[in-house]
């Protein structure tokens, strides 16, 4: 993740004082630490989901090292199975899963899990206009579909910030 995206995550989290955060796609936890640094002053909590066991283990070590482990719960497994089963609501959801097919697949669940006034953030949403090489092109169609779902949703107001590979910022109305 680019430094400007991680700083934006920190700023948006502080600005909204989000207490309960869901992150989909942990990797080794760089973005999770940004979110956790923003919430640790008021004891906010992050639930983050990662598919790869060894990657999640490294993230847990990084959270200890960064002094934010008490603010973070890591669920290891497939987000497409975990997210539909979640029942609690969140102030902020950050979608950054590696398999971009999950962006449109989990869109309705993300909107359901967001409290009114909550923020949906999503990384890489300018992929469709970036002229990606062949490795990236299979991500374009699902991101395009996700962008249309966000833009067409009567429950969201949104924009895409041109930082990193594009960061969607959407607020749930109502």
Nearer to ligand SAM, 59 or 111 (CB): 59
Q: Print the binding letters for residues 93-112 with ligand SAM: x by CB under 6 A, - otherwise.
A: ---xxxx--x----------
Q: How far apart are CA 126 and CA 173, in angstroms?
A: 23
Q: Are 89 and 114 in contact (CB under 8 A)?
A: yes
Please tell me whether residue 31 binds ligand SAM under the rule CB under 6 A: yes
Please tell me whether residue 128 binds ligand SAM under the rule CB under 6 A: no
Minimum CB separation from ligand SAM for residue 116, in Å? 25
Q: Print the binding letters for residues 63-82 with ligand SAM: x by CB under 6 A, - otherwise.
A: ---------------xxx--
Nearer to ligand SAM, 117 or 162 (CB): 162
Q: Which of 93, 46, 49 is nearest to 68 (CA)?
A: 46
Please tell me whether residue 155 binds ligand SAM under the rule CB under 6 A: no
Please tell me whether residue 62 binds ligand SAM under the rule CB under 6 A: no
Q: How far apart are CA 73 and CA 99, in angstroms?
A: 21
């Amino acid at each position: 993740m680019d430094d400007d995206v991680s700083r934006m995550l920190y700023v948006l989290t502080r600005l909204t004082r989000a207490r309960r955060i869901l992150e989909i796609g942990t990797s080794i936890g760089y973005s999770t630490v940004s979110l956790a640094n923003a919430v640790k002053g008021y004891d906010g909590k992050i639930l983050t989901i990662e598919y790869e066991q060894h990657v999640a283990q490294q993230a847990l070590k990084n959270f200890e090292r960064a002094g934010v482990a008490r603010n973070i719960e890591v669920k290891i497994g497939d987000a497409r199975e975990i997210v539909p089963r979640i029942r609690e609501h969140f102030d902020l959801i950050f979608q950054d899963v590696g398999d971009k097919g999950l962006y449109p697949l989990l869109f309705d669940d993300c909107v359901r899990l967001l409290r009114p006034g909550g923020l949906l953030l999503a990384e890489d949403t300018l992929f469709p206009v970036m002229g990606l090489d062949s490795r990236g092109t299979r991500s374009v169609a699902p991101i395009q579909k996700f962008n249309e779902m966000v833009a067409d949703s009567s429950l969201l107001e949104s924009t895409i910030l041109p930082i990193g590979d594009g960061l969607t910022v959407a607020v749930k109305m109502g």
